[in-house]
Each structure stands twice: as C-alpha cells, then as structure tokens.
Structure 1
Amino acid sequence: MSRTITTRTAVAISAVVLLLPLSACGGDAEAGSGSTVTVTVGYQSRTINTVTAGTLLRSLGSFEKQLNALHDGVHYKVDWQDYATGAPITAQMTAGKIDIGSMGDFPLLINAARGKQLNSPTRLVSVTGYNLRGGLNTIVTAPGSKLASLKDVKGKKVSTSVGSAADGTLVRALQRAGIDPDSGIEKLNQQPSVGASALTAGSTDALSQFVAWPGLLAYQGKAKAIYDGARLNLPTFHGVTAREDFAKQRPAVLEAFLKAQAEATDYLNDHPVDAAEKVAKATGLPAEVVYLYNGAHGIATFDPAIKPQLVSALKQDVSVLKSAKLTGDVDVDSFVDDQYVKKALGPKAYAERLATKPAPAASEAWPRGASKTVTFNSPSQLLHYVAGHGDALRAAYVPDTTTGTLWFADKAVWVADGDKLLPFVAPDTAQAYVAGHGGARVVPYADALERAS
C-alpha cells in the first residue's frame, strides 16, 4: 500500500488479524498410515538471512527428501507460503494455519507474545543467519541527500517497519544519538518495498530496513548508507519458530525440517557463490546483493545452533518492544527450545556448532564467469586488483574498518591513512576514524583506486 500508516493504526490492524478464529493445524496430527499430511511452512523469500529455512531450502528440496526418509507410512506434502515480513506468518501460526515459520529477532518476540496471548504457544527451535554486532540492519538515505549521519535525521521523515529488527536498530541508534525515537523524527510505518519506493520518490528522508533492502538499494545506486547497524555492537539474527502443539504432535517432522535446514546451511557455507545464484534466481534479487549478505565473508553467518549470545540479545530486545507497546513481558527462556535441533543434529555436532565463530572479515572480488570469488588480505590489495580488472568483475566487497560489516567497494566511504586505504560503510564512522588519526582523510573512490594502482 502506498499511503503512510501510523504505528497505532498498524498495531490495531495486527491485533485484529491475530485475533482471527483458530482453525485446524496445517498437518492432521491424527493421520494414520497411508494418509496425506500437509506441512505448512511460512517463509520470507527476499529476507535472505532466512534462506536456509526458506528460499534455499526449498530450491534444494531437502525438506521433502527428509520427509520421504521417515518411512512412517504417511505421505507428506509441503505447502510453502511466501510473505514479505514476519507479522503475517505470526498471524497464520496463531490461527493454526502455519506449522513452521522463519523471521527476525524482533518479530520472533512478537510471535512468542501473540502465541501466549492467544493460547497457541510457539517455540524458537533454531537460528538461520546472524551477525554478532548487529550488521544485518542499515539506515540509508537518497544518494544526493545532504544527510551524512544519524544526527542529521532529527525532525526528518524516516521509514521503517514498526516491530521489525530494523525498527529496533533505528530506536536504539536514535537514543544513542540523543534523539527521542518518538518525538525526534516523523516515523513512517511501511512495508520494506513501500519504504524503498518512498525513498526513491523523495517522500521520506531516510529508510531503516533489514536485509536485503539496504544493500539492494545501494547496489542499484538508489541509496547510500548513513548508519551501520553494527555500530550498536548488539547481535541481530533470524530464526525458526514452530507451533508448540505441532512440535509435540509431530516431533519427527520438525526434526526432519531441522535436518534439512542443517543440510541447506552446510550447502550455503560450502558453495556460497552457487547458493547466492540459486537464491537470486528464486527471488529476482541480484546475486551480487545476495552474496553481500550470505557470502563466504558476508554480513550474515549461518548456523542453526541457538547460541547463548543470541538468546541474551533477545532478552534485551524485549524492552524496545515494550516501550513501543507492541508486547508486554516475554518469557524468552520458555520460548527458546533447542531440544529438537539438538536431537536432529546430534549432541556432539550441536555442541561443535555452538562453539563455532563467524569467519574473519575479508575483502573479496567476484570475477565475471567465475564460480568462486578471490579473497585478499587487505582492502588495498583488493583495490589494486579492481584497478587492473575493471569491467571483468561482477562485484567487489570490503569490510568496514571499525565494524567488519561487508559492503560494496564502490559504495564504501574510503579513508587514506598514510599508505593504508581503509573502507567504511557510513560517513560518520569514517569521520570518527579520521578524527582519531592525524593525517587521515576521506578520499573519493576513484582516488582510492588510483592510489592502489
């Protein structure tokens, strides 16, 4: 929809949708041998940090294969339902119409709260993609905008999706900048696609969104970053939620899903370029944008294990939703339930996954026609490579010097510090570095390339 919706109106609409009468679950728990059971999975194809529980998983056919391997005399059918955000998935889950869903951390909390409120409890059963610093969310503005930092948005129109992780990033970032999130800006509650159009049309001054919107708009030349969510240094993630009654009635089916998710995760980690191409084909997103988030050194790390850091972050998120009057208290400990993924992977493998850490940030170039990217030890080395290859490259990526958030090399803010060439996602992060390093200065990308060559 094109018109702006206020927060209060959006919440009221959500409440009405969520209070729809409950109906039978997607799969018939009483089904016997020879019967057909439909398992309904709600996912967000273009929210690409959920691909191991949605887009990529679906394209690989892993879930269907795992279901066929159950050999329990039941014929299983998977109904994949694609949504733009987590809210409608929650509405359908609490109405008993979706069995398994995937969404971001803030929507997960709303999912937990609504499930309890409507006596249709849900459980967080695994994680898809995460970033321990918060780099999955970014605030952008138009390319020609004079806005250069978060402080510049005071009194301006900012589009976001209220109740989303991107909204949480906006609220926290404004608070740290000394701006009241309620009165300091004019917040527009919009779907990501609507907000993106509003930014392009000039009807909003900035956009705070989750993957893959900021990267997509930057790649298309329709936006520039003014705030890297990783500056908050608070984990953000996406995860899988299941209805409690479904999990108890069909644990083998849920475990089959989680085994399939683990397979999709391993495939993404082992074949990042091919996985990006598959997701791009299924979603219509440019593969270069998918790789920015899901690549070998991408913004997101994929692992189904529910890490303690993520649970801790989830508990911190509750206060943000409470202040926005989107939820009351949420019992995070009772919502998190890793028994199914632990059984699906095996205790030893699960413990190993819990102990894994994200890959170190690195610069990468993606040559045209190549099935692998080229990795470099420094951004300067990457720039030297780019200067010599030019149009032969599909994309070049560099990690922010301060936060490690990957960004497109030609969209980054570059700083020359002696012989070093240092990239940053946003201008204020670059300026903060310059202020603390005598002689360092911001240089145009073209100058950075010339220096490197």
Structure 2
Amino acid sequence: MMQSRRHLMQMLGGAALLPALGGLGACSPKADRLAVGFQRNGILYIARTRGELDGRLKAKVGLAPEWVEFPSGPPLIEAMSAGAIDFGAVGDTPVVYAQASGVDLKIVAGKVYGEGLANKFLVGAGSTISDAAGLKGRKVGYTRGSSAEVSALAALESAGLTVADIQPVFLAPGDGVSALGQGAVDALFTWDPFFTIAQQRAGARELRFDRAGLLATALFIARTALTGGGALLLTAFLDELAAEARWANANKAEAVRLLAGAARMPEAEVEAMLGRLGGDPFGIEPPSAELEGNQQRVADMLLKAGSIKQPVKVSEIFWRGWTPAA
C-alpha cells in the first residue's frame, strides 16, 4: 500500500506551500493552464526572469506559463500533488517521496551533473568534527524530504552510523545556514547557493564523505496529464526551456547577474558557484539510463533508512516522449 497524501505533507512540509499557491486553483488543474513551479536558482528562474520564453511559447501554442515560486523542492512537490502546479524542477529525493505517496507525476527531463552540484557536508569554522564519524550524537541540520536528506544518509552510512545515532534538525535551506553560523546545529547538509553563502559569509568548512555512488542530478517533473496524447504543450515548453539553457550557457555573465540578484549574492560568489558545475552549467535533456539508475539508488537508500515504507520502482514514472527540436 502506498503511503498516504497526509504522510507526504508531513514529510515535505506542506504548510510551507500555502503562501506560494496564491490564486491558483489548488485542486482543479485546467487544460488551458501551464503553472510552472520554480525556485530562485537554475534555468527555470532565468527563463521566468528574462520573460522571453513566455512570448515564444504563446506564439507556438497560444499559452504562456504561470510562474509560482517555492523555497525548495518539497513544497513544490506538495503543490503538484494538490493540482496547483503542472511542472517544476526538483532534486531526486522529493520525487521518491512523491512516488511512494502516489502523487500523479512523471519525470520528463533531467540533467546529470558532476560533484559540483552535489549537496555539501558543512561544519562551523571552529568545529572539531573532521569526518562523518564525528556526527555521532551531534545536531545535524538538513531539509527533510530534500536531496540533502539522502546526502546525510550517505555520509552516516559511510561511517557506520544511522539517523538514530544523531540528533536530526529539520530546517529550511536558509534557516540551516543561519543555524550553523549561530552554533544551533553542529553540521549542515545543503546545496548551492546556500553552501556558497555559508562558506563565504560564515567561514563554514566543507568535509568530504563517501557518496555511495550517488550522482548529483536535477529532475524536471510534470503532472501525468501533460504527457498524454501528443503532449504538444509539454514538448513545446521543454524545447523552449532547452533554448533558454543554451542562451544561459552562451551568456554566462548575464546569467550570473540574474542569479546573483535572485540570491542576493555578489556576482563573484555566483560565478564561483557556477564554475563548479563545469563548462555548461545549465542544461535540460531527455531522461537517461544513468539518471534512472541514480534515482533508483536514492529510492533504495530511503527505503533502507525507513524514510519510505514500501519499495518503489522508479522506472514507472519516467516519461521518454520528448525528442529535443534540432
């Protein structure tokens, strides 16, 4: 039996999505709507801020997207579960929770990155913790239901520990940075831009750990209804989003300016952050076998930790109906 929707809301922080939903019909998705959930980073934020995708998509299919902002992946997933949005970009872990809870969605595109995008293991500047084994008995912060949770699980496993050996502290990403700086947590698992902010402004130190073969990925998800029929709206939107990624890779200085404004970070910090992602930091591709294999490893790790109660077969939610336009 799949986990309940109520359990999904508990895991993913459903209350956090309420302000984000605004005037959208939370339980009545419309055929003539494309509501896109985005965070203040990545190619969706750039596309929304530039505004050019809206005009191109409307010219192509007669419809422009509605943009809805979220602080992280978990509340975005809950909004999709409620029917309030149709498309979004998230990390691997929220999607596993969603699938385990029966949320009607598909992984329609993705991107596999190197270690540069992976969640980081941070401790305070004066901390005596030197490796994952030092987490035993400590307060460890991460965003529950996010990709940071699986990174924390991998670090603990590498040291022969489990969640039962630590004091987990569930925090929103920005709150985690503040908590680490103030000493309210002993360690933090988080992603960029929060990793860069913690390093640059609070002197946080990064510690390496065995990632158990996990890759850093970005997943683009959509309500299953969008993948039906010819999926013309979805494929048109994916083509336009790929065009935005090509623009961003070719115009990195402007992309840096946009993202720096979003994160309220100096452009030099954002440039360093993007530099960790390699030559083409922005991208969106049809789902690959590598992406699917990594997603299954994430699901298996969450099952082993008891975070989900039943096995999931991730191949069931991969959709491969998009062939990028030439």
Match of 1:275 in 2: 255
Match of 2:195 in 1: 214
Match of 1:58 in 2: 48
Match of 1:156 in 2: 138
Detail structure 1 runs of 4+ shifted over 6 Å in the superposition. 9-12
Distance 1:267 1:152, change over 3 A: same
Match of 2:204 in 1: 223
Q: Measure the CA separation in 2 of the matches of 1:283 and 1:162.
A: 21
How does the TM-score come out when normalised to structure 1? 0.63
Tell me the SS of whatever aligns to 1:302.
coil
Q: Measure the CA separation in 1 of the matches of 2:282 and 2:26.
A: 34
Match of 1:332 in 2: 314
Return the offset for 1:127.
Answer: 1.3
Match of 1:411 in 2: none
Return the offset for 1:206.
Answer: 0.6
Are residues 1:113 and 2:100 paired?
A: yes
Are residues 1:44 and 2:39 paired?
A: yes
* Counterpart residue type for residue 126 of structure 1: A
Q: Measure the CA separation in 1 of the matches of 2:150 and 2:231.
A: 33
Matched residues, number:
311
Match of 2:89 in 1: 102
**Alpha carbons 2:116, 2:276 under 8 Å: kept:** no
Distance 1:22 1:281, change over 3 A: closer
Tell me the SS of whatever aligns to 2:228.
helix
Tell me the SS of whatever aligns to 2:218.
strand
Return the offset for 1:294.
Answer: 2.4
Distance 1:327 1:247, change over 3 A: farther
2:10 to 8, 13, 20: 13
Return the offset for 1:174.
Answer: 1.3
Q: Measure the CA separation in 1 of the matches of 2:9 and 2:314.
A: 24
Return the offset for 1:237.
Answer: 0.7
* Counterpart residue type for residue 110 of structure 2: V
Consecutive unaligned residues in structure 2, runs of 5 or more: 1-5, 19-24
Q: Measure the CA separation in 2 of the matches of 1:329 and 1:137.
A: 24
Are residues 1:123 and 2:112 paired?
A: no
* Counterpart residue type for residue 151 of structure 1: A
Match of 1:289 in 2: 269
**Alpha carbons 2:12, 2:74 under 8 Å: kept:** no
Match of 1:23 in 2: 27
Relative contact order (C-alpha < 8 Å, sep 6+): which is higher? 2
Return the offset for 1:283.
Answer: 3.2
Q: Measure the CA separation in 1 of the matches of 2:110 and 2:55.
A: 21
* Counterpart residue type for residue 218 of structure 1: Q
Deviates more, 1:142-151 or 1:295-304: 295-304
CA RMSD in angstroms, aligned pairs only:
2.8
Distance 1:65 1:113, change over 3 A: farther
Match of 2:3 in 1: none
Q: Measure the CA separation in 1 of the matches of 2:192 and 2:279.
A: 10
Return the offset for 1:228.
Answer: 5.6
Consecutive unaligned residues in structure 1, runs of 5 or more: 1-8, 30-36, 350-453
Q: Measure the CA separation in 1 of the matches of 2:12 and 2:72.
A: 16
Larger radius of gyration: 1
**Alpha carbons 2:53, 2:244 under 8 Å: kept:** no
Residues 424-443 of structure 1 mapped to structure 2, 5 A cutoff: none
Q: Measure the CA separation in 2 of the matches of 1:234 and 1:294.
A: 20
**Alpha carbons 2:156, 2:163 under 8 Å: kept:** no
Are residues 1:92 and 2:97 paired?
A: no
Distance 1:288 1:108, change over 3 A: farther
Question: Sequence identity of aligned pairs in percent?
Answer: 23
**Alpha carbons 1:159, 1:207 under 8 Å: kept:** yes
**Alpha carbons 1:132, 1:233 under 8 Å: kept:** no
Q: Measure the CA separation in 1 of the matches of 2:133 and 2:280.
A: 27
* Counterpart residue type for residue 162 of structure 2: P
Q: Deviations over 1:184-226 (max 9, x none)?
A: 2111111111211111111110101122211221011341112
How does the TM-score come out when normalised to structure 2? 0.85
**Alpha carbons 1:291, 1:298 under 8 Å: kept:** no
* Counterpart residue type for residue 326 of structure 1: I
Distance 1:265 1:22, change over 3 A: closer
* Counterpart residue type for residue 126 of structure 2: G
Return the offset for 1:338.
Answer: 2.3
Q: Measure the CA separation in 2 of the matches of 1:150 and 1:16.
A: 27
**Alpha carbons 1:137, 1:228 under 8 Å: kept:** no
Tell me the SS of whatever aligns to 1:220.
helix
Residues 166-185 of structure 1 mapped to structure 2, 5 A cutoff: 166-178=148-160, 180-185=161-166
**Alpha carbons 1:135, 1:228 under 8 Å: kept:** no
Q: Deviations over 1:298-324 (max 9, x none)?
A: 498433222322211111111122233
**Alpha carbons 2:38, 2:70 under 8 Å: kept:** yes
Return the offset for 1:62.
Answer: 3.8
Q: Measure the CA separation in 2 of the matches of 1:327 and 1:126.
A: 27
Return the offset for 1:78.
Answer: 2.5
2:243 to 255, 263, 269: 263
Distance 1:181 1:291, change over 3 A: farther
* Counterpart residue type for residue 68 of structure 1: K
Q: Measure the CA separation in 1 of the matches of 2:231 and 2:224.
A: 10
2:125 to 143, 149, 162: 143
Distance 1:195 1:331, change over 3 A: same
